[in-house]
Amino acid sequence: MSPVKTSKKTNLKKAEILADYALAIESREDSLIGRKEVFMGKAKFGIFGDGKELAQIAAAKYFQNGDWRSGYYRDQTFVMAIGQVTSQQFFAQLYAHTDVAAEPASAGRMMNGHFGTRSINSKGEWRTLTDIKNSSSDISPTAAQMPRLIGLGWASKLYRNNPNLKDYKDFSINGNEVAFGTIGNASTSEGHFFEAMNAAGVLQIPMVMSVWDDGYGISVPQKYHTTKESISKALAGFQRTEDQAGIEIFTVKGWDYPALIETYRKAVKIAREEHVPCLVHVEELTQPQGHSTSGSHERYKPKDRLEWEKGHDCLLKMRKWMEEEGIASATELDTLEKEAKARAKKARENAWKDYMSEIKEDLNQAIELIGKAALTSDNNKILQQIKNDLKSSLNALKADIVKAVRKSLRYLTDNNSEEKKRLQDWLKEKQEKYKDEYSSHLYSQSAESPLNTEAVAPVFGEESKLVDGREVVQACFDALFERDPRVIAFGEDVGKIGDVNQGFAGLQEKYGEIRITDTGIRELTIIGQGIGASLRGLRPIAEIQYLDYLIYALQTLSDDLASLHYRMKGGQKAPLIIRTRGHRLEGVWHSGSPMGMIINSLRGIHVLVPRNMTQAAGFYNTLMDADDPALIIESLNGYRLKEKMPQNIGEIKVPLGIPETLREGTDITLVTYGSMCRIVMDAAQQLSDFNISCEVIDVQTLLPFDRNKDIVESLKKTNKIAFIDEDVPGGASAFMMQNVLERDGGYFHLDSKPITITAQEHRPAYGTDGDYFSKPSTEDVFEKIYALMHEINPDRYKAIL
């Protein structure tokens, strides 16, 4: 098949056409007013969807309840057209209003143009997603919306083809839901886009991908971005044919209203009914105000281009078409435009009034409290100046108010008046309130939080067999798939061979390819599949074959999944489990332990580091009953080590953030995790032969870390501590040290300096010798702990080296 051609006729009634035009005018006015608000200092930054209005209205016409959008920051008209954002909410976001009712997309946490519908209620419970039009939460990095789009579409395929999911009608009605994606033409140059389009073609998912093409990427014209200066031409090889699956490709002009309507009718029909992905390349769009409020496009666009854009503005074209077709007179359209602009103006006024009302209340309270405190102080003159500066500030923000109060309290240190106490109490109250507004919901705050899980210990009996560790985790997965049809697993080599270490061995044959699936080599969209599927109520396990390969997907994990719950203040959740393996093996790759990188870039995702497969199984069971995303890093050299098979493999649970003491001791506390546990335990045993008693603690999870301060309790006893891991110096060892010594006050109990024992700064060299000389060995641990004891008591512990 060749790219689809469309006609320019429309059967829409006059009322609907005029309503579309009115919405387009209102949205354009929102953009124009929004830019002015930024320049007036009432907002920090503005990025708008002007020039894309008609195409977005056309696409939105075929967006049904249950459908999902994964778009970007120029989609304001689209989300307005599907009834998920009003002009007033648009301006509330521009002002960063922290009230969820006023700004439901992010409660003021994201800059304007970032949209998302609230999939869960205030208790963290799922809403009926098939009753609403859904938008996954936007993020700013270009093309970063693409990976999750694949998962949103793939979920429809799973719901349609897995008969055991037919009753989950809150999430899908027979897989009829379409995933709508949007992107700017320049961002199609990103690898995210190409990987996602390839994945969509392979998976054959119901996806409609719109490219808003205005010929530029900020100042850079199309010729520098795209082969053949056209993404539809560049992707021509993806076009499906009579005998080969692929993608259906459409091209249409962004100013041609009837052609846009017809194009999207056809594209969405194909996607919804046939589960075929479609690309709609919307060409000849304009961007009347340039890229953003950061600059003017007159600086880089030639005069002939600017003149062309004026003549091809989609609103001007639509008006001309309506007049020529006799749909409406010039007078009618003038009146309609005036009314639409008035609505936009009124929305701005109401949004600003609501936003400022709370701030003004805080401002007046602070001014009054500072003024009264000043009257009781020897620093009256300074305090009065602080008060007057605050009072005279134009459009004071919460930060300005709190700064003034905190500064005032500096000059009241010798004052014990009631007025000072009232000022302190006011500040404490506001700081708690602002902590909720700006710092809450990094993780789930619902009853289903994994932090609420109680431990269920493994049960062993005389009949418990000693098996390879891989068999333990395989039995756990078997139990998970047996009890919950929403559980799915996918990744490279996961299906037919049961993953490279046999954790899923035999399970595809038992549960079917629809639930345990092989993928191509594409870590980024493997994670995207997991995010999208979990947003739609499924319980995915996305496998990244080796920990080193997590870097391919780190941007999506960090910018999208880790921040999701936070950036919507609890409005959406994606309880994805990422399974991988790492630590010791052989060589520069497949043996990495970049834990510092991971824990510092993935705040918002729990990071679990089991030392064996029984512990890993307990984590999987914990997470499947919870609603937070997590990364589980299994120990690569643990699959062939022998463990007893628990009798209750499907029920054991390991709580998060609770360390386990593996060995009692009195001289020094050794803190470690993962594969290092075996080495540290070996060293501790050898140290005992030299009268050094080591307490060995497995932290079990790095995020969260030691929630009950158990390590400090050990430190109180030993007064000496070492942090040991396979990361580079200053990586996770420094993270653990900071938490124990600073966060938990462990420094108070030290009798000697704390030490870290880590890998070398380079990646491990190949072979057994490469491993030995690159990562901490039993001898390294022994000698460094012994040297510490020698420093404390050289007479008892004679120097070795």
Question: Tell me: the pLDDT tens digits for 444-498?
Answer: 999 999 999 999 999 999 889 999 999 999 999 999 999 999 999 999 999 999 9
Confidence of residue 588 (pLDDT cuts 50, 70, 90): confident
Q: Which helix (H) or strand (E) is 560 found in, with range?
A: none
* Residue 743 DSSP class: I
Look at residue 281 and tell me whether its pLDDT is greater than 50.
yes
Confidence of residue 294 (pLDDT cuts 50, 70, 90): confident
* Residue 635 DSSP class: E
For range 28-53, the mean pLDDT: 95
List all residues 6 or more positions away from 321 whose beta carbon is below 8 Å from its beta carbon: 257, 258, 327
Lookup: tokens for 314: 């989609």
Q: Residue 421 to residues 360, 386, 416, 751: CA-CA distances in angstroms? A: 22, 18, 8, 39
Return the residue matching tokens 């041609």.
Answer: 256
- Taking the C-alpha atoms of residue 458 and residue 652, their distance in angstroms, rounded to an integer, is 5
- Please check whether residue 412 is in contact with residue 370, taking contact to mean a CB–CB distance below 8 angstroms: no
For range 749-773, the mean pLDDT: 94
> Taking all residues of the chain, what is their mean pLDDT, rounded to a whole number?
96
- Please check whether residue 630 is in contact with residue 444, taking contact to mean a CB–CB distance below 8 angstroms: no
* Residue 453 DSSP class: P
- Taking the C-alpha atoms of residue 753 and residue 721, their distance in angstroms, rounded to an integer, is 8
For range 200-205, the mean pLDDT: 98
Q: Is 466 helix (H, G, I), strand (E, B) or coil?
A: strand
Look at residue 8 and tell me whether its pLDDT is greater than 60.
no
- Please check whether residue 412 is in contact with residue 441, taking contact to mean a CB–CB distance below 8 angstroms: no
According to DSSP, the residues that pair with 478 across neighbouring strands are: none
- Please check whether residue 161 is in contact with residue 125, taking contact to mean a CB–CB distance below 8 angstroms: no
Amino acid letter, 105: A
Confidence of residue 586 (pLDDT cuts 50, 70, 90): confident
Tens-place pLDDT, residues 211-244: 999 999 999 999 999 999 999 999 999 999 999 9
- Give the pLDDT of residue 9: 65
- Please check whether residue 65 is in contact with residue 130, taking contact to mean a CB–CB distance below 8 angstroms: yes
Task: Report the first-to-last Cα separation within the chain, whole angstroms.
Answer: 76
Tens-place pLDDT, residues 345-386: 999 999 999 999 999 999 999 999 999 999 999 999 999 999
590 is catalytic: yes
Q: Give per-residue burial for 554-587: e unless 16+ CB within 10 Å, then b.
A: bbbbbbbbbbbbbbbbbbbbbbbbbbbbbbbbbe
- Please check whether residue 57 is in contact with residue 212, taking contact to mean a CB–CB distance below 8 angstroms: no
- Give the pLDDT of residue 712: 98
Percent of the chain with pLDDT over 70: 99
Alpha-carbon torsion angle 393, 395, 401, 402, nearest 10:
-130
CB atoms inside a 10 Å sphere around CB 19: 15
Amino acid letter, 305: R
For range 72-77, the mean pLDDT: 96
According to DSSP, the residues that pair with 670 across neighbouring strands are: 696, 722
Lookup: tokens for 563: 């921040």
- Taking the C-alpha atoms of residue 103 and residue 137, their distance in angstroms, rounded to an integer, is 13
DSSP symbols for 750-791: -SS--EEE---SSPPPSHHHHHHHHS--HHHHHHHHHHHHHH
Among 281, 590, 606, 749, the one annotated catalytic: 590
Residue 305 CB burial class (10 angstroms; 0-12, 13-18, ≥19): middle
For range 89-115, the mean pLDDT: 97
Specify the range with the lowest mean pLDDT, choosing from 279-283, 391-395, 625-629.
391-395
Lookup: tokens for 675: 């594969």
According to DSSP, the residues that pair with 283 across neighbouring strands are: 253
- Taking the C-alpha atoms of residue 431 and residue 444, their distance in angstroms, rounded to an integer, is 21
* Beta strand pairing call for 68-70 and 134-135: parallel
- Give the pLDDT of residue 709: 97
Sign of CA dihedral 734, 736, 740, 742: positive
* Residue 711 DSSP class: H
- Please check whether residue 645 is in contact with residue 693, taking contact to mean a CB–CB distance below 8 angstroms: no
Q: What is the pTM of this model?
A: 0.96
Look at residue 277 and tell me whether its pLDDT is greater than 50.
yes
- Taking the C-alpha atoms of residue 396 and residue 404, their distance in angstroms, rounded to an integer, is 11
List all residues 6 or more positions away from 322 whose beta carbon is below 8 Å from its beta carbon: 17, 18, 21, 328, 333
Lookup: tokens for 689: 């032969």
- Taking the C-alpha atoms of residue 26 and residue 344, their distance in angstroms, rounded to an integer, is 6
- Kindly report the length of the chain: 801
- Give the pLDDT of residue 4: 44
CB atoms inside a 10 Å sphere around CB 417: 14
DSSP symbols for 125-142: PBP-GGGS-EEPPP-SST
Sign of CA dihedral 23, 25, 27, 30: negative
